[in-house]
Amino acid sequence: MNVTPVGEWGPWIVGGAWLAVGGRKVDLLYRSIEQVTAVIDACRNGEISMHYQPGHPHGFCSAIWMGEIALCRVLHDPGGLVAAMKARTAPYAPALRDALVRRFQWEILFAIENAELAVPRGDTTHVAGCAYRALACVAQVLFALNGQYLINEKGALAQAANFPVTVRDLAARVAEVWLRIGAADYAAALQALRMLESELRDKSAEP
């Protein structure tokens, strides 16, 4: 077992270890109570930030820390510190919802348009990267609209497909986008993304 120094994995993952406990994979991650408390305060005020982070190709959204507290199961908290933070994560703050939608909604179309510019250049890596970025932003918006915390982009779209507020046939349509990209049918893939973006924008505008 190799436990890292504090800060070795960057300012947002911080550090920790990858463990095997009873034959199960367990991630140990450090968090600062003071820093997480400050992030919760910011999120409740509608202040979020995005950061480059290896292992998170979409980036690390500061609201992840608030989501970790909201979703965690407390095993040992003799001083009640985690419980006090957890109490501030529910109900889901409207200001956080609005900030996430505002931050990520516009970027969906922006990413699609950048992909379209890359198609004539034959820059297929950039096309795929922009498509991923657009879909990751779709997940962010859907989680926010449903008052759900997104703590990892892995599996986020599959989860969002089952939310009360979602885009019809989301999982199948996402699969179709990647099928089209794999077949080098970029026009069809990006048109499918444009339709997703339009329908999601309509969802966001609903009261």
Using one digit for the tens of pLDDT, what is the confidence trace for 91-145?
999 999 999 999 999 999 999 999 999 999 999 999 999 999 999 999 999 999 9
Asked whether 151 and 71 are in contact (CB, 8 A), the reply is yes
For 34-47, what is the mean pLDDT? 98
Instruction: Please spell the DSSP secondary structure of the chain, one letter per residue.
Output: --PPPTTTTHHHH--EEEEEETTEEEEEE---HHHHHHHHHHHHTT---EE--TT-TT-EETHHHHHHHHHPPPS--TT-HHHHHHTTS-SPPHHHHHHHHHHHHHHHHHHHHHHHHHTTTT-HHHHHHHHHHHHHHHHHHHHHHTT-----STTHHHHHTTSSS--TTHHHHHHHHHHHHHTT-HHHHHHHHHHHHHHHHHHHH--
- pTM metric for this prediction: 0.95
Check residue 86 and give its pLDDT. Answer: 98
* For residues 165-183, average pLDDT: 98
Has residue 46 got a pLDDT over 90?
yes
Nearest to residue 137, comparing CAs of 39, 52, 50, 41? 50
What pLDDT score was predicted for residue 206?
86
Q: 51 near 60, Cβ under 8 Å?
A: yes
The pLDDT of residue 1 is 61
Name the token pair of 72: 């965690």
What percent of the chain stands above pLDDT 90? 94
